[in-house]
Chain A
């Protein structure tokens, strides 16, 4: 009986391992080969929403830990831009994954308190789950 349970558990574990590895490697391969376009990363989306919603903690958690002054400047900028612009739309334009790095580009529509509208792009470079470049 013990052997049967052991066999059953081994079979389930082998299946689980295979499913996990195939999904991980397959997903990366599909992104690298651009078979179905580039999948937007969850981190890039959270970062963009963090910018538009003025969430300094979200932005800090998604960027590599910088020095004290840089982090203070980031908080200051977020505080100062609070309520100045209201987001109208956020569109994912697309991106590219190469090696461990991925680039994601967005178009944002904003409206100021005075009614002025802006249509601006933003490109994010994501590596190891962190936004390492924003332009």
Chain B
């Protein structure tokens, strides 16, 4: 009888010992799975907080490369060459350029971002970065209109 009780107690201890690690730890695969579930949930939450733009309800024009006419003007702006700029552009166009670059006093960089063409009329877009009056760095969008092999407008 005492042998039977002792065997039962031993079995119970063995069961308890076998069950203990399972009940107290998750195991590497379960932990990894839960971590991945969390990661996916975090990515989904971030996408919800900063959603992608809604679909464009209008047709889009195909983007083209940087036109050489605007490249020439950008080169003069970056070279800070007022004399060459005056020689190459009409007075009205210079005023438009000044307004487009407002409030920049000095331009360090002009990055081409994209261009489109419609019936020989090209709009070439740049982001100009420079120094404004209070010597702080600032960026503005500048769009050159190119037609007939020359820059005819600046926005």
| A residues apposed to B, CB below 8 Å | 1, 3-4, 7-8, 11-24, 27, 38-42, 44-46, 49, 52, 87-96, 98, 101, 103-105, 107, 109, 119-125, 133, 135
Given contacts A19-B43, A19-B46, 15 further A-B contacts (CB under 8 A): A7-B26, A8-B34, A12-B35, A18-B39, A18-B42, A19-B40, A19-B41, A19-B45, A44-B53, A46-B54, A93-B123, A94-B63, A96-B111, A109-B61, A120-B155
Q: Considering only CB atoms, which chain B residue lies closest to A43 in the complex?
A: B53
- Contact, CB under 8 Å: A4 / B26: yes
Residues of A within 8 A of B107 (CB): none
Interface residue B148 (Cβ < 8 Å from any Cβ of A)? no
- Contact, CB under 8 Å: A90 / B141: no
Q: How many angstroms from the CA of A49 to the CA of B60 in the assembled complex?
A: 13
Residues of B within 8 A of A91 (CB): 60-61, 63, 116
Residues of A within 8 A of B23 (CB): 1, 4
Once A12-B38, A15-B38, A18-B39 are accepted as A-B contacts, the answer to whether A87 and B58 lie under 8 Å apart by CB is yes
State which of B38, B41, B61, B129 has its C-beta within 8 Å of the C-beta of A107. Answer: B61
Q: How many angstroms from the CA of A19 to the CA of B42 in the assembled complex?
A: 4
Tell me if B's interface is mostly helix, strand, loop or mixed. mixed
Interface residue B36 (Cβ < 8 Å from any Cβ of A)? yes
Once A7-B25, A95-B127, A123-B143 are accepted as A-B contacts, the answer to whether A42 and B54 lie under 8 Å apart by CB is yes
Residues of B within 8 A of A44 (CB): 53
Those 9 A-B pairs whose CB atoms lie nearest each other, nearest first = A15-B38, A19-B42, A123-B141, A94-B113, A94-B114, A93-B114, A121-B143, A45-B53, A16-B42
Shortest CB distance A12–B (Å): 4
State which of B30, B100, B113 has its C-beta within 8 Å of the C-beta of A93. Answer: B113
- Contact, CB under 8 Å: B26 / A103: no
19 pairs, CB–CB < 8 Å, chain A vs chain B: A4-B25, A8-B26, A12-B41, A13-B38, A15-B37, A16-B38, A19-B42, A87-B58, A90-B60, A93-B115, A95-B141, A103-B127, A105-B127, A107-B61, A121-B155, A123-B141, A123-B143, A125-B139, A133-B140
Once A15-B41, A23-B43 are accepted as A-B contacts, the answer to whether A105 and B35 lie under 8 Å apart by CB is no
Residues of B within 8 A of A88 (CB): 58-59
- Contact, CB under 8 Å: B38 / A11: yes
Q: Mark B20-35, 1 if CB is under 8 A from A, else 0.
A: 0001111000110011
